Structure formats: C-alpha cells, structure tokens
C-alpha cells in the first residue's frame, strides 16, 4: 500500500533495514535451545507478585506523573551502595526498563546530525534509537588484552571524537563482552568527557552480576561528571523482571531537568509495579543471591567445557551472564556460524558481528538455561565444529 510515505524519514529508513534480532521470537521448534536473548529463565518470587496485588488492593491505581516518590527514595538508598549520595527528588527518573532509559536519554540530547560514540562491541539496543533521532553512531574500539578480555581503547576513542560528538556511551559490566570497567578506566573516560565537553551515558544494568571479586564502580561522582553523566539502570536482569518493566536514570539535577523535559507523558511503570519494585529492593536480595549462584555455576561449567572444544577460545567474563567466545579459528563469519549452528543443531546464539566490527569472529551465549541444557549445547557445538570443513581464517578487523 506504500504506507512508508507517511512514515517519519528515520522510521522509513529503519523499516527498510529491519532484520533479525536476538529478541525476535522463533519457534516453537522441537528440541531448540535458545541462548539468543538475555531473558533470564527465573520467575519473580511470590512475595513480589503479591506486592503487586497488595498495591492494587490498597488503591495504588492512580496517575503517577513523574514516578512514585517512595520508589525514587528506595532507588537512592540502593545506589548508595556504590558510595554515591543521590537526592531522590531531583536526581532519579523512573523509566519502563532499560530500553526506555536508553530512549529517553537519547531523546533528551540528540539532534539530527549529532554524533554519539558507542564502544565496539556493544549491546545492539542502542543502534535503532540513535538512528530514530537522526543522529550518527560512531564506534570506538574495545580491544582484547592478553587474557582475551575486551578493554576500552582510549587512543581510538579520542581519535573518533569530533565537534559534533554529544555523548560517549559505555556499559559496565558489559554486554556482550563481560568486561567490568576498572576505576582507572573510568577516570580516563571522565577526563576525556571533561576535556571534550561531552556527556557520559553509563549503562549499568548488570551491576549486580560481577564475578571473581571485581567491584562495580560508577563514573558519576568523578570530578566534573555530575553535570555530564546519565546512569541507565533496569530491574530486568537484577530481579529477572524483563516482562514487568522497571528501570531508571540517575543524573545530576541540571541534566535531570533536560531528561524530565522529554514529553513521554506520565510515568509509564504501572504504580503497583513501582510499589512491588520497592519491595524487591528491600527484600529481594536472597532471590538475587540464588540467581547469582546459578549463573556462576553456568559460567563455571561453560568455561570449563568450552576449553575442551578445539578451536574455541574464550575469556571468563568479569561480569554479566554472557559468554563471548572467539570462534574465528573456524574461518567463518559469525553470522554464518550462528545461522548454521541453529539450522543444524537447533541452538540459538547471537553472532558477534551484530555487536559491531570488533565482535566479528565471536558468538554470544546468553546463559539463560540450566546446566543440563548447557551440557547439551556444548555437545551440539562440539559436533557442529567437528563437522565444519577446514577454512582459512578471516582477516582480523
């Protein structure tokens, strides 16, 4: 019908390039194991379900224009664990999960033609909102250190900043690489943001999932950063709340005024869920500890087992619950590898190239299935790679 003519120019462009994503649903397919999307396989505990119901019964079913004040207070109290004092009234904005936090952060600052630097590899959910606002995503490399862990390349970052750069977006702990930024790395980034007068958008939605004694640090309280940082947070992973939708942005009071001016209407997290989220922040930590113990088991199992599969190189993640092994020795583009693995073995993984050029030669496993399923995944992977024809390795980007 040619309805594209009605579409906003950026939307029409997005329509024409719409393709597969890790979030696209497939199936049901008999025997499929889906490690594509990062949707935790845990259900929220009963006491949180009950808190939603109790809030409705108590009459918390009315407009909530900028979010519930007691929810914002609970968030400020929680974030204090990172040594940062936040004024809940002026420094917290409630969003419908991390995706709305991303959208609202971009909506607040990006004009058509602006540039935003996103590290490479990076979570794919930044790409289309940037395009929607007519801005340009510029990539700065993460490069692997001798232990195979991706780290930010600051020389490359400085080289890609231009007078059009509005913001630098990074993620710690990182999806897909599992990198947890060190204090020194955050300091370097803060200095660069101040020097070039740009905003840091710090995606911290995996803060609760850190392994091997590392600690989460935040950039927001480093010198000069209060007025130029937006911290994006979500309950999706922390409390396995991907369907319930709750998230927030933390920023300094001046930047918060810019964020709050985005016309999203009323707060889009239903009030009973905001009330239940308060309960989760108060009493949900045993549940989080159980999930963490289970993820740790999965990571330990997978890293040991992948070691036995010839040609697969991996680094143990410092955070989050993904594995991003290097499969470049098989000489196949990661998209082809992921597609053929799915067609032949019914295992869904994400191709590393989806996360940027630096992700090529990798695949991402989201460890959202129990160890028994992961055992089966490794068996199928072993069989799949054994049957691959020998090929010349591709050029490393």
Ligand X SMILES: Cc1ncc(COP(=O)(O)O)c(C=O)c1O
Contacts with ligand X by CB under 6 A lie at 38, 97-99, 123, 125, 171, 175, 203, 205, 234, 236, 242, 247
Query: Measured from the CB atom, is 165 or 202 closer to ligand X?
Result: 202
Distances (CA, A) of 367 to 37, 85, 106, 120: 9, 33, 29, 21
Counting Cα atoms < 13 Å in the Cβ hemisphere of 119 gives 28
Closest distance of CB 234 from ligand X, Å:
3
Query: Measured from the CB atom, is 240 or 377 closer to ligand X?
Result: 240
Query: Measured from the CB atom, is 86 or 233 closer to ligand X?
Result: 233
Closest distance of CB 245 from ligand X, Å:
7
DSSP state of 81: G
Closest distance of CB 239 from ligand X, Å:
11
Query: Measured from the CB atom, is 205 or 377 closer to ligand X?
Result: 205
Closest distance of CB 395 from ligand X, Å:
28
Which position's Cβ is nearest ligand X?
A: 98
Please list, in sequence order, all residues whose beta carbon lies within 8 angstroms of the beta carbon of residue 160, skipping any fewer than 6 positions away: 117, 138, 139, 140
Closest distance of CB 389 from ligand X, Å:
34
Query: Measured from the CB atom, is 106 or 123 closer to ligand X?
Result: 123
Quick one: residue 222, left, alpha or beta (phi over 0 = left, psi -120 to 50 = alpha)? beta
Distances (CA, A) of 31 to 22, 28, 195, 301, 378: 18, 9, 53, 21, 14
């Amino acid at each position: 019908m040619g309805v594209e003519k009605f579409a906003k120019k950026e939307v029409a462009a997005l329509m024409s390039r719409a393709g597969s994503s890790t979030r696209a649903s497939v199936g049901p397919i008999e025997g499929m194991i889906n490690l594509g999307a990062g949707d935790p396989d845990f259900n929220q505990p009963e006491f949180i379900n009950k808190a939603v119901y109790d809030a409705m019964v108590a009459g918390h079913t009315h407009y909530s224009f900028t979010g519930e004040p007691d929810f914002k207070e609970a968030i400020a109290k929680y974030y204090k664990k990172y040594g940062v004092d936040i004024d809940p009234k002026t420094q917290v904005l409630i969003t419908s999960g991390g995706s709305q936090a991303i959208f609202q952060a971009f909506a607040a600052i990006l004009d058509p033609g602006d540039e935003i630097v996103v590290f490479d590899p990076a979570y794919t959910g930044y790409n289309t909102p940037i395009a929607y606002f007519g801005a340009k995503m510029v990539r700065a490399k993460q490069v692997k250190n001798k232990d195979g862990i991706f780290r930010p390349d600051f020389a490359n970052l400085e080289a890609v900043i231009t007078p059009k750069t509005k913001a630098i977006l990074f993620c710690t702990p990182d999806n897909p690489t599992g990198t947890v930024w060190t204090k020194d790395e955050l300091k370097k980034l803060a200095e660069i943001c101040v020097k070039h007068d740009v905003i840091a958008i710090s995606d911290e939605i995996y803060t609760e999932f850190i392994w091997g004694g590392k600690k989460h640090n935040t950039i927001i309280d480093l010198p000069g950063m209060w007025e130029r940082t937006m911290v994006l947070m979500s309950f999706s992973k922390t409390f396995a709340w991907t369907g319930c939708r709750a998230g927030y942005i933390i920023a300094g009071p001046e930047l918060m005024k810019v964020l709050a001016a985005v016309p999203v209407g009323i707060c889009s997290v239903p009030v009973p869920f905001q009330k239940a989220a308060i309960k989760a922040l108060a009493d949900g930590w045993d549940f989080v500890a159980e999930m963490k113990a289970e993820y740790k088991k999965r990571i330990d199992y997978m890293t040991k087992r992948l070691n036995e599969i010839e040609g697969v190189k991996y680094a143990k993640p410092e955070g989050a619950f993904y594995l991003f092994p290097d499969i470049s020795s098989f000489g196949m583009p990661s998209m082809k590898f992921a597609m053929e693995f799915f067609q032949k073995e019914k295992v869904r993984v994400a191709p590393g190239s989806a996360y940027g050029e630096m992700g090529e030669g990798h695949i991402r496993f989201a460890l959202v299935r129990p160890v028994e399923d992961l055992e089966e995944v490794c068996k199928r992977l072993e069989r799949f790679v054994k049957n691959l024809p020998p090929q010349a390795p591709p050029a490393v980007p």
